[in-house]
Amino acid sequence: MIEDNYKHQGMRRGLVRKLREKGIYDERVLRAIGTIPRHVFFEKAFLEHAYQDKAFPIGHGQTISQPYTVAFQTQLLELKAGDKVLEIGTGSGYQACVLLALGAKVYTIEYQEALYERTRIFLPEMGFKPFFFYGDGSKGLSVHAPYDKIIVTAGAPTVPTELINQLNEGGILVIPVGDNKTQKMIRLRKKADKKLEKEVFNDFKFVPLLGEQGWN
Ligand code: SAM
């Protein structure tokens, strides 16, 4: 049973306020972040960090993404209830919970076996049930393609062509692309004629996307 008391809820309201101040405007995204208990992804001793707007180590050299980053990427996805979404980089599972709270059908893939094992047990215990996969998500997840939306939560050197191929017409891919220091957030929209519309947003700092189409 998850403990989610008035103190946690108060801290979460504070986080949502901060995200709004920083420019997140999609009320549905803010509401989703306002409902997911981020503290359950943290050891009790680190509770004070759970609702600060920062990334935090989750073991195996990986991080739970900064709430602003989660909100920004989710906002760019323009999710509709029932959208079929592929998330690359399950990590802690927090981002997957936000996508589920917005009514998406979520397929999530993780490259590190230990993280995959941990999260695929932990999330359903909390009541969140995406479809979990273990493997190299830099190539997407062709068996379940196409997807309405694809979100990559690790920094890529380039946009993997396979991800574009696995996107539905009208679909959106959100992916940070750059070097090992900073990445630009990129949104690609696959138009009905299969042409791509590209938008480039701010700089972010992600752990590297590994694998065949990532950093080898
Ligand atoms: N979305 C996560 C969350 O909410 O906690 C944050 C993920 S963390 C910033 C990036 C994750 O991408 C790490 O767990 C890492 O192991 C994973 N990753 C890196 N390369 C990958 C690949 N080729 N396929 C799948 N996952 C990958």
| 128 CB within 6 A, ligand 1 | no
> Shortest CA distance to 183 belongs to which of 202, 196, 198, 209?
202
**pLDDT band (50, 70, 90) for residue 206:** very high
- Residue-averaged pLDDT of the chain: 96
**ipTM attached to this prediction:** 0.99
pLDDT in tens, 136-150: 999 999 999 999 999
Give the H/E segment covering residue 20.
Answer: helix 6-21
Q: How far is the CA of 198 from the centre of ligand 1 (A)?
A: 23
Question: Is 132 part of a structural domain of the chain?
Answer: yes
Check pLDDT > 90 for residue 121: yes
Residue 1 lies in a domain: no
Question: Given this model, what pLDDT does residue 186 score?
Answer: 98
The angle, 0 to 180 degrees and rounded to 10, between the axes of the packed helices 94-101 and 27-35 is 120
Q: Which of 113, 45, 100 minimizes the C-alpha distance to 70?
A: 100
Q: Which of 39, 65, 153, 180 to mutate to test the pocket of ligand 1 (most atoms within 8 A of CB)?
A: 153
Distance from residue 24's CA to the centre of ligand 1 (Å): 23
167 lines ligand 1 (CB under 6 A): no
51 lines ligand 1 (CB under 6 A): no
Q: What is the pLDDT of residue 43?
A: 86
Give the count of domains, the chain.
Answer: 1
Residue 216 lies in a domain: no
pLDDT for 77 equals: 98
The pLDDT of 117-126, averaged and rounded, is 96
State whether the beta carbon of 126 lies less than 6 angstroms from ligand 1. no
- Give the structural domain span for 38: 6-204
Flag whether 146 is in a domain.
Answer: yes
Contacts of residue 57, Cβ cutoff 8 Å, sequence gap at least 6: 63
Tens-digit pLDDT profile for residues 62-80: 889 999 999 999 999 999 9
What is the predicted pLDDT for the residue at 58?
84
Task: Return the CATH number at 88.
Answer: 3.40.50.150
Please tell me the predicted confidence (pLDDT) of residue 96.
Answer: 98
Query: Crossing angle, helix 27-35 and helix 67-77, to 10 degrees?
Result: 140
Identify whether 175 is part of a domain: yes
Q: What angle do CA 163, 209, 32 make, to 5 degrees?
A: 75
Could you report the per-residue pLDDT of 1-29, keeping only the tens digit for each? 789 999 999 999 999 999 999 999 999 99
Domain membership of residue 27 (yes or no) is: yes
Which of 72, 112, 120, 204 for a ligand 1 pocket mutation test, highest count of atoms within 8 Å of Cβ?
A: 112
Other C-beta atoms lying within 10 Å of the C-beta of residue 110 = 27
Two structure tokens written together for 89: 């980089």
